[in-house]
Structure 1
């Protein structure tokens, strides 16, 4: 009996367990998935929790119910990966041997990386919304907040779902308008990038929306510290931005397990072949989702596309066949713009987001890079898709793992 071990039962790990249980002969392979946490979170829902659009019950479920029958589920902390002996060490010193290892340990916020961020004002007037605890605490704060300077801030890239901070700013604009207090709130979007987003084409559209909604934009801001006593964030060039309420996206890092195991880069992300998803240092170890260092968006839809390609590559690896470098960085993302509308962007490693229709060329029904209520409904429907299809490894009809070029006018990424 051979062993396939999956580390992490978040979005990517759970998907891979569901994919592989259908593909590997049960008499030949044992599939084990390990995660220390009982709860599985719908992380895209954290964006909506602060604005009372979603409830806490809508963004979390018992993770065990999504683990496929036939796979062994171990709920323990992972202490160490030992690639030289094909062994994983668990918290109680139990050992798991593997023939193939899939690392899906995700990424985590690290507010301690910035001086003063995770200090005495954390969850008082400084919040994140990339964690369940942070989003819930921010919800409680916004319910009672009477206005002032709201700063939405990104510490550094890469982060999970690069558009989420912009979405937060747009939703905040809508939220305060509906509360009849938008004139009491000054919103500023602060980013280390040279523009609103990582892709120049989308940046033009998103910058226009910031202007339209009277949201100030501060670019090229590389934060050095948070002066929580004087309510200011300060960058390395001594540029300052004042706030009354700071909503920040802290540094995102791979799991500390990766650092302990000596397998990651400076941010604990695993060096991974961006096309095959095989790790660069160990041929029988594969990485997926937020755990990798590949230059693709860290988002659930991307992990979904990766999972389909990685499943095929693991089967090729087992047969001794050459792996295919098929993953093209495909990302498909709704961007909530407030007031019941959203944008939809579709891009990959080599193509910028473009105008067009999705998923059917010339038909749609969704339009790319255009605000619409249909796109907003697509964003809202994604929660059902997530719980009922995506993490169960079910193929989403008419949406290919690689980016379709049909009916689109592309601009190459330099």
Structure 2
């Protein structure tokens, strides 16, 4: 009897996992991918939409067409998962039995969880670029913005692509300078963190870049209310930040069905997962990757890509009755657009924070340093996403484990040359 792998989510993680498993296992395993809709959105491109640098037709493709031949696609929302019965009940009434379940339904925006955020002014003077509709609304809002206070606010962590709100600040600085009105715009970045970023070395570099570009920084601000009518953010400790236009990154949580599936997720709806094998802690035949997990890694596309190699191999080992291998090290790789045709690059994992140097070797792209090469790398990633990452192919010279070659480790930095 052919065994079945059911993959919940047809985004980055679900698609690349299905394609990797198909290439590895062929017809020995039936693979079914489930998603609530048929549109696969290239999420890194959403950052560029508000500035007129990307358009919906550039970012959206049919989910089913990204899957290799032989993979089944079922369009429906998920009702719940029965871990004891090894079944998934879909909202269209279909029941899918599985031998292995892969959870790849990502993180879900929850703007309704913040008081006032979706009230008066929502999608007008209070916007987000974290989904396509929001990015398009923000494009219109920016086009009509002639000056005043623009605030970029992260409500809370974790969020998808933690560097994207900083990138928005850098691109906004560029955008308003191009329009000749930068001197009329007060830019402020408001974060619940105690610095510009979570990692100390990177936080120093990125905080310095905010200062260089004249972007104010408000830290340890835990947003409790967004008042679109009065134009102000209000923190839980009653601090306020005024705005004429607010760009808000809402709270994130796991997919709703996770909360309806006993023992599958945590209180936020994310799936507790072994950080090295990607086996779920809920059941041995359940695996998870990408933004759907509770791993202490960034919710970023590169992480999902690097996780895919470990997960596909371990699913194959599980089906073969072999021990799993703990090979994922938390590798994260992010281009950070800084405006004016330049970008930075950071590369880190569970144990090593972003450091200066080069990636993936000493002759590679500069780390933690603005360069034209990094900007071109970010632009090229779109092609790699559709033609290499999603099809489940390895990128030559770039492995899933974080490389140490080329990085200036702290002890090296302290050693005189």
For the aligned pair, the TM-score class normalised by the smaller chain equals: over 0.9
Task: State how far apart, in whole Å, the 2-side matches of 1:179 and 1:62 are.
Answer: 35
Task: State how far apart, in whole Å, the 1-side matches of 2:148 and 2:268 are.
Answer: 34
| Aligned: 1:371 with 2:370 | yes
Residue 399 of structure 1 is matched in structure 2 by 398
**Where do 1:11-410 residues align within 5 Å?**
11-26=12-27, 28-262=28-262, 263-359=264-360, 361-364=361-364, 366-410=365-409
State the secondary structure of the residue aligned to 1:24: helix
Q: Would you say the 8 A contact 1:12–1:288 is kept in 2?
A: yes
Which 10-residue stretch deviates more, 55-64 or 108-117? 55-64
Task: State how far apart, in whole Å, the 1-side matches of 2:347 and 2:117 are.
Answer: 34
* CA deviation after TM superposition for structure 1 residue 25, in Å: 4.2
Q: Would you say the 8 A contact 1:352–1:410 is kept in 2?
A: no
Task: State how far apart, in whole Å, the 2-side matches of 1:123 and 1:241 are.
Answer: 19
Q: Would you say the 8 A contact 2:120–2:229 is kept in 1?
A: no
CA RMSD of aligned residues (A): 1.1
Task: State how far apart, in whole Å, the 2-side matches of 1:343 and 1:283 are.
Answer: 39
Q: Which 5+ residue runs of structure 1 have no aligned equivalent?
A: none
* CA deviation after TM superposition for structure 1 residue 411, in Å: 4.5
State the secondary structure of the residue aligned to 1:234: strand
Task: State how far apart, in whole Å, the 2-side matches of 1:169 and 1:74 are.
Answer: 39
* CA deviation after TM superposition for structure 1 residue 233, in Å: 0.5
* CA deviation after TM superposition for structure 1 residue 99, in Å: 0.3
Task: State how far apart, in whole Å, the 2-side matches of 1:89 and 1:386 are.
Answer: 31
Q: Would you say the 8 A contact 1:234–1:241 is kept in 2?
A: yes
Give the total of aligned pairs. 409
The Cα offsets for residues 5-25 of structure 1, whole Å up to 9 and x where unpaired, read as: 101100000000100001114
Q: Which 5+ residue runs of structure 2 have no aligned equivalent?
A: 412-417
TM score, norm. by length of structure 2: 0.96
Task: State how far apart, in whole Å, the 2-side matches of 1:106 and 1:13 are.
Answer: 9
Task: State how far apart, in whole Å, the 2-side matches of 1:307 and 1:101 are.
Answer: 14
